[in-house]
Amino acid sequence: MGRRSWLLAGFALPLLVARASSLDVAFDGDTLRPVLADVHFIGGRALERLKDARTVVFLSQITLLREDRVTPFRHAPQRFYVSYDIWEGRFKVTIPGATPESRLGLTAEQAEAWCVDNMTVSALGVAPDRDFWMRFDLRTADPKDMASIVSESGISISGLIEFFSRKPDGEPHWVMERRLRLADLRRTPSRRNW
């Protein structure tokens, strides 16, 4: 199996394991961002684990695909480390990296909103009048999964594809996609500085 076929299979499989629903998108002129008004990912088993003082890692991936809906041309993976303060009853979210960013004392809704605001993909270089697909994946990751996804050099795309291609193990997995053309999108102001 060639790398291309493997990649294609990797992108196709999530559609089999989780129903792709329609995606609302915000565009600020430079970046595209999913709008997840009805998605509450801090809940269920993830919330149970958080209330046991565990860290829950949410992995998101935004993929831009050509018109054929198969060939990817841009990826934007992101990971969020969420924990729940068992004394304060508030959440902390950290985006790790060379200069980690954190928000402390958030409600569940605020924590979700801050995560979503940091799930962006650059639209620079995308022709305004050209059709393309935007796919959004979000799921929790076990710390042991992180070892195969995150290496010393950063997030491994192949590890990420393999991870998002796995059969659901009871963990929620959101997959949404939408056909887009930048020229059709109404520009909204960026919310990243809230």
Partner 1 sequence: MKYVCLSLLLVGGLLGRTQDSETNVNSRYTVETVVVSGDGWSTSPAVDRDHKISSGLRKEIAALVGEKLNPERLDDLAKRLRKELRARTVEHHVLRGKSPEYVQVVFQVEVPPTRFDVAVPKFLYQGEQGWSGAVEGTATVNNNGFTAGLVSDGDELVERYTGVVARYESQPVLDQRARLRFEFATYHELWNPSTVTAADASQLYRTRDEFQPVLSVRVARPLEVSFGASFESLGAQAPGAQPLAADAFVAGARYHQEIEGSLDQAVEANYDLRAGSHALASDYAYSRHRWGFRYRLTHGKHELVDDSWGGLILGTAPLFERFVLGNSTSLRGWNKFDLDPFGGNRVVHNSVEYHYGVFQVFCDSGAIWDSGQAAVARASVGAGLRQGAFSVALAFPLRDGRMDPVFMVGMNY
* 100 counts as binding partner 1 under rule CB under 8 A: yes
Minimum gap (Å) between residue 84 Cβ and partner 1: 7
Contacts of 138 by beta carbon, 8 Å cutoff, 6+ apart: 39, 41, 58, 59, 60, 61, 119, 173, 174
**Count of residues in contact with partner 1, rule CB under 8 A:** 39
User: Residue for token digits 């860290």?
Assistant: 55
**Cα of 91 vs its chain's centroid, Å:** 19
Please report, as residue ranges, which positions from 37 to 96 form the binding site for partner 1 (by CB under 8 A).
52-55, 72-75, 77, 79, 81, 83-88, 90-92, 94, 96
Interacting residues with partner 1 between 124 and 153 (CB under 8 A): 143, 146, 150, 152-153
Radius of gyration for the chain, computed over Cα atoms and rounded to the nearest angstrom: 17
* 29, 43, 44, 97: which one binds partner 1 (CB under 8 A): 97
Reference 149, options 99, 96, 103; nearest CA is 96
In sequence order, which ranges of 58-107 are alpha helices (DSSP H)?
none
Tell me which residues touch partner 1 (CB under 8 A): 3-4, 7, 52-55, 72-75, 77, 79, 81, 83-88, 90-92, 94, 96-98, 100, 102, 104, 143, 146, 150, 152-157
